[in-house]
């Protein structure tokens, strides 16, 4: 791969092992429920694709297109829905699947939004959490890894839309 300037933080094997554990946990806890995974685009598409194949239950998957407003690299928490769910979630057990919780503003907004649609439950599954930058407290019921305050890319996460196709998660280093 021509990504020699990216230092590996979590290898593809590290990620796969943790995703298997999360899938097993979700399989146990959602047995007999009406599980709907909500993949938050774009970052979460790779994680969601791997996670759902580790969940041994009937489930639905929905995609939520989200655009953060604001200048610079940090989100303002004002998120615009660019693509909504295709079906109602009333009475369903919704699990929001995110690649990373950073300031928490995106998840906080999505929790508020989805709760207005009267699901039975709404929980959060995030592959990564960067607590150093938290601005609002949000629950993360299923968490892959806690990471330090570095800008990470790969496995769905981008830097200016690049690096999403890296099979591992890493930190971009100056060349
Ligand atoms: C990133 C990431 C989360 C959000 C987390 O998405 O995928 O959705 O930011 O940040 P927060 O906790 O500070 O709100 P981004 O807005 O970069 O869009 P993308 O998923 O399309 O890359
Ligand atoms: Mn995102
Ligand atoms: Mg992004």
Is residue 47 a part of any domain in this protein? Answer: yes
Which of 47, 67, 72, 106 most suits a substitution to test ligand 1, by most atoms within 8 Å of the C-beta? 106
Is residue 1 a part of any domain in this protein? Answer: no
Domain tally, the chain: 1
Question: Is residue 77 predicted with pLDDT exceeding 60?
Answer: yes
Residue 43's CATH number: 3.40.50.2020
Is residue 8 a part of any domain in this protein? Answer: no
DSSP-derived 3-state class of residue 23: helix
Question: Is residue 36 predicted with pLDDT exceeding 60?
Answer: yes
Q: So what's the pLDDT on residue 132?
A: 96
Q: So what's the pLDDT on residue 50?
A: 99
Active site residues: 102
- Output the six-digit token pair for 4: 């020699």
Is residue 167 a part of any domain in this protein? Answer: no
Closest by CA to 92, choosing from 142, 30, 25, is 30
Report residue 45: phi and psi, to 5°.
Answer: -70, -35
Q: So what's the pLDDT on residue 174?
A: 79
Is residue 67 a part of any domain in this protein? Answer: yes
Q: Kindly report the protein residue whose alpha carbon is nearest to atom 16 of ligand 1.
A: 68
Is residue 91 a part of any domain in this protein? Answer: yes
Is residue 158 a part of any domain in this protein? Answer: no
Q: How far apart are CA 38 and CA 22, in angstroms?
A: 16
Place of tokens 């407290």: 137
pLDDT band at 57 (very low <50, low <70, confident <90, very high): very high
pLDDT, one tens digit per residue, over 86-142 is 999 999 999 999 999 999 999 999 999 999 999 999 999 999 999 999 999 999 999
Structural domain containing residue 72: 17-149
pLDDT, one tens digit per residue, over 21-33 is 999 999 999 999 9
The CA angle 89-22-55, to the nearest 5 degrees, is: 55
Is residue 64 a part of any domain in this protein? Answer: yes
Place of tokens 């995703």: 19
Which H or E element spans position 167?
none
Q: Kindly report the protein residue whose alpha carbon is nearest to atom 21 of ligand 1.
A: 42
Closest by CA to 169, choosing from 35, 6, 10, 7, is 10
Residues with CB under 5 A from ligand 2 (ion): 43
Place of tokens 């933080």: 9
Q: Chain-wide mean pLDDT for the chain?
A: 94
164 CB near ligand 1 (under 6 Å): no
């Amino acid at each position: 791969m021509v990504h020699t300037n990216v230092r590996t933080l979590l290898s593809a094997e590290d990620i796969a092992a943790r995703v298997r554990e999360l899938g097993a946990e979700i399989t146990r806890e959602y047995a007999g429920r009406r599980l709907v995974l909500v993949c938050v685009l774009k970052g979460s598409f790779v994680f969601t694709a791997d996670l759902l194949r580790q969940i041994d239950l009937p489930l639905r998957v929905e995609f939520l297109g989200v655009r953060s407003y604001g200048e610079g690299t940090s989100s303002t928490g004002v998120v615009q829905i660019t693509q909504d769910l295709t079906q109602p979630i009333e009475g369903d057990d919704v699990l929001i699947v995110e690649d990373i919780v950073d300031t928490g503003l995106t998840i906080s907004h999505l929790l508020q939004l989805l709760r207005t649609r009267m699901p039975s439950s709404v929980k959060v599954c995030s592959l990564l959490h960067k607590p150093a930058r938290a601005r609002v407290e949000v629950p993360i019921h299923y968490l892959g890894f806690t990471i330090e305050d570095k800008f990470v890319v790969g496995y769905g996460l981008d830097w200016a839309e690049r690096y999403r196709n890296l099979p591992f998660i890493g930190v971009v280093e100056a060349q």
